[in-house]
Amino acid sequence: MPSGPSLPPKIDLAALDSAIESIPLHEDIFKFDPVSQVDTSPWPRAPAGDGSGSLVPSTPYSLMARAFTLISSTRSRLAITTLLTNLLRVIRAHDASSLLPAVYLVSNHIAPAYDGVELGLGGSILNKAILDVTGVSRARMKQLWNSTGDSGDVAFEARKGCKTLVQHVPLTVSKLYKTLQLIAGIKGQGSANAKLAHVTKLLVASRGEEIRFLVRTFVSHLRIQAVKTTIATALAMTFSLVDGTATESVEFSKSHYLITREDRKGLLATPTKQSERHSPARLTLMARLRLSERLMRQVRARHPNFSVIVPALQEVGLDGLSTRVPLSVGTPLSPMLGSITRSLQDMRAKFGERAFVSEFKYDGQRVQIHALFLPYAVSGKDGAAPDWAKRRREAVPAEKGRWVKCCNGDGEVWVRLFSRHLEDMTVKYPDICDLMPLLMGHGEATADASFLGALPTARPSEGDAATTASTSLLENPAASAAPPVKTRSLIMDAEVVAIGLQGEPLPFQTLANRSRKEVNIKDVKVKVGVFAFDLMYLDGKPLLKTSFRQRRKALQTRFPQFNPPDPLIARFAHVRSCESTDLDEISAFFEAAQASKCEGIMAKSLDHHWEAVEGSEVRCTTRAFHTGNMKAATGETEDGKAGEHLLEKLDDEVADELVLNTEEGEEDEEREQDAIGKGVNGRGKALLSTYEPDRRCESWLKVKRDYVEGMGDSLDLVPIGAWHGMGRKAAWWSPILLALYDPDTGGYQAVCKCISGFTDNEYKRIFAKFAEGSELCYDPRKREPMDEYELGGMSLPDVLFRPCEVWEVRGADITLSPVYHAALGLVSEERGLSMRFPRFIRRREDKSVENASTPEDLAVIYRAQ
DNA sequence: CTTGGCTGCCC
DNA sequence: ATTCTGC
DNA sequence: GCAGAATGGGCAGCCAAG
């Protein structure tokens, strides 16, 4: 119990529960009033943040638990969004300081990915905590795990029937968030116990449903059908709806986004009556909500940091948001992703007449490179400027990243590297950091011939790196032509690939062997090459809306491939690409990618286009079009009116871009000139080649061998065991352990687990056929396991199956495994083989278990890789 | 001082 | 990473 | 088609236990 001078006033828990219970969180967002419909008098109090010493309401965690419970009872996106929006509105209205913590709690995080904050709690520690707190037996725990498949549900069920003798102080959102941050900060010897102590304390303090969500929050797995987009939407709606509280900035008249109480009087966001749905007044407001939602998604995609976004919303609202939270060097944007495409023909067909390039998809690690040059001398002065330290601090968002001195003595380049999921990788790649000043023209060796080299593409070549480089230079003679232009700032997209002494690409597993906490560039054991493929920001200008053709051109001309003279520094090249749209040539390029150990290819649309929507007449006139540039979009047209027409036909996405982009600075003249599109006189649809953060787009298509039917390797495996599924798969077996059949011994060698590719019906069939305790399925802990199973270093499955089916399973490639013993001795004496990205394709009813794939079959595939 | 379990993060 | 499902 | 969920192989890093 807390003690000391500021003992909080005694809380009437019954009154609190009833006050929370009576909040109509499910109510239509236009009707719900977080001020008049919420009674905060029984809420716990905390000192106001303004230092006045006055006590203000502090959001009880039970409010969040209540919202989560309601959310869990539906699968309707609309209902979930409504609940979440109303929850955030209540918190915003009564306890604004808890809004950011609440948003983090909903999103399963406590900080942006790149801050490197980790809770370090997992199922194991939580199980311990639940045992401690509830006192249930281990057997009961296991039983609960098997039946619920959820840590929170286990905790909730385990505590049922436990008597809670002490009346606790209610847990608050703010307290929980602070504790999570505290837990994340605990390191070193004894940390496990220290974390456990905090967890246990909170579990003990929790009441009712709270424990379910508390535990899920500890394992960062809330499972409430709302992770990213739904939160962004709810946040946008929260700030669209003016609730008349003191903290709202009131500038209604000029806003694109705000909806006042007056505006929405008598209207419903989700009416049941058809007539109400189409009321013009309602449609106007819904359009505003959609605009806010799109704004929020865009801002979040360009600057995914709630610690920046939420305070910005609170201070400047939606209208000032995109200016206040822009794309910035030092903060990663969400990467653009490619859509899976099942064949080269499909890929070709999707682009139609549009120009595109194909690129090698290397098997490495994606990296987003941020770099900023800061000169020692400011203009007009020479020598180191006295305010260097201050300028340095001001130049970057925080004391993260790495400063690299330019060897020409001009200044320093600040570098920060991010992974695909936006983790900070700067310290992992000092060799890439050191590359940046040279790449940006701030080194002095740029005239050196050794700079002109390129990475060879899997061509074996004698001699050292320099010889190799000159060989591959022939592939791209243009590389030597470009003079180094000094670059101020950039954000670049690239793939990091492990390379051998000759610069040849090495497998992903080699790259994975690299240390992650690097201290010294001299200790780097796995050399890497950087294969660049996009440029999102250059010299202070975002290029997201620039066509890919121009981004690519800028990337290639400004940053020619080169091989730094210092062998410790990473090499730089562009991904190999092919501009032909001829299917045969693309096929040959795809084969070349395989030969170079690539995963496949990415095909990318080069230009912005307009295309007719079905049934409309299309007149194709070439003229300048560039999203984000009103003048170009409405510029020269055949009949002079078509420009306006075009604007009317813009789909929402583009309209939004236009609105947002007015704040992104002037257009680049060069870009404008090159902007190509098709005028459409009729209904039109935008097919853009913009960089779309956070989206899997049809303008980027990825083709891998294993997506293509009949192309990848597949195995015919025997299911020999399984575990109880979790979450939505709790009622079935998942994952399922698969094995090869060894005809020499009659044994079964486990090769991988499989979770993907099964339909729910297939799961049902499997669970019914291999029913627990039946002839075909037994508990290996209760009955001696059959000795023909070779499980390797695998932990024992919950159940073992009698071998009786054969399944076709496809994967990307075969890996040397530290765990499985499949084909042990055939390619390695120490390690067996396993499969990357295994997925169930179909049952082979035509095959008996004796006809399943053998260790030799697997070894053959491995050797052929 | 070594080993093995757990966690988070690459793909 | 891949895949399936409900909206 | 989007959004979310479940979970694959395998690595380094960290910590606890032996």
Q: What angle do CA A685, A687, A688 make, to 5 degrees?
A: 135
Q: What are phi and psi of A766, to 5 degrees?
A: -65, -45
Q: How far apart (Å, rounded) are the C-alpha atoms in residues A215 and A155?
A: 7
A253 touches strand C (CB under 7 A): no
Residue linked to tokens 């294969």: A531
pLDDT digits (tens, 9 = 90+) for A331-360: 999 999 999 999 999 999 999 999 999 999
* pLDDT score, position A255: 87
Q: Which nucleotides of B are covered by protein (CB under 7 A)?
A: 5-11
Which among A116, A170, A682 has a CA at the least distance from the CA of A425?
A: A116
CA distance A109 to A107: 6
Asked if A367 contacts A726 with a C-beta cutoff of 8 angstroms, the reply is no
| CB of A729 within 7 Å of some strand D atom | yes
Cβ proximity of A424 and A400 under 8 Å: yes
Sketch out chain A's domains with CATH numbers. 113-219 (1.10.3260.10), 241-321 (no CATH), 330-443+485-611+686-709 (3.30.470.30), 713-864 (2.40.50.140)
> Any residues with CB less than 8 A from the CB of A198 and at least 6 apart, and which?
A179, A182, A183, A186
Phi-psi region of A321 (alpha: psi -120 to 50; beta: other; left: phi over 0): alpha
Measured between alpha carbons, how far is residue A789 from residues A571, A723, A745, A750, A819 in Å?
47, 16, 11, 7, 14
Q: Which residues contact A846 (CB under 8 A, 6 or more apart)?
A: none
Question: How many CB atoms lie under 10 A from the CB of residue A114?
Answer: 24
**pLDDT at A251 (0 to 100):** 61
Residues paired with A697 in a beta bridge: A338
Q: In this predicted model, what pLDDT tens digit does every residue of A47-93 receive, in sequence order? A: 998 888 899 999 999 999 999 999 999 999 999 999 999 999 999 99
Asked if residue A609 lies in contact with residue A354, where contact means CB atoms within 8 angstroms, the answer is: yes
Residue A471 has pLDDT above 50, yes or no: no
CB-strand contact A128/C, under 7 Å: no
Among candidates A786, A787, A798, A816, which has minimal Cα distance to A737? A798
Q: Is the CB of A215 under 7 A from strand B?
A: no
CB A413 within 8 A of CB A371: yes
Residue nearest to nucleotide D14 (CA to C1'): A188
Q: Tens of pLDDT along A508-565?
A: 999 999 999 988 999 999 999 999 999 999 999 999 999 999 999 999 999 999 999 9
- Protein A533 CA to nucleic acid C3 C1', in Å? 28
Q: What is the pLDDT of residues A245-270, one digit of tens each?
A: 755 655 666 788 999 999 999 999 99
| pTM (whole model) above 0.85 | yes
CA of A132 to C1' of D16 (A): 19
Q: With a cut of 90, say whether residue A771 has pLDDT above it.
A: yes
For A514 and D11, how far is CA from C1' in angstroms? 9
Q: With H, G, I as helix, E, B as strand and everything else as coil, classify residue A424.
A: strand
CB A767, CB A731: distance < 8 Å: yes
Instruction: Report residue A37's pLDDT band, with 50, 70 and 90 as the boundaries.
Output: very high
Token pair recorded at residue A449: 């011939």
3-class secondary structure per residue, A237-283 = HHHHECCCCCCCCCCCCCCCCCECHHHHCCCCCCCCCHHHHCCHHHH
Angle at A731 between CA A727 and CA A735, to 5 degrees: 70
Q: Which nucleotide is nearest to A342 (CA to C1')?
A: C2
Using the CA of A116, give the nucleotide whose C1' is nearest. Answer: B8
Report residues 66-95 of A contacting strand D, contact meaning Cβ closer than 7 Å. 77
pLDDT digits (tens, 9 = 90+) for A570-583: 999 999 999 999 99
How far apart are alpha carbons A155 and A315 in whole angstroms?
39
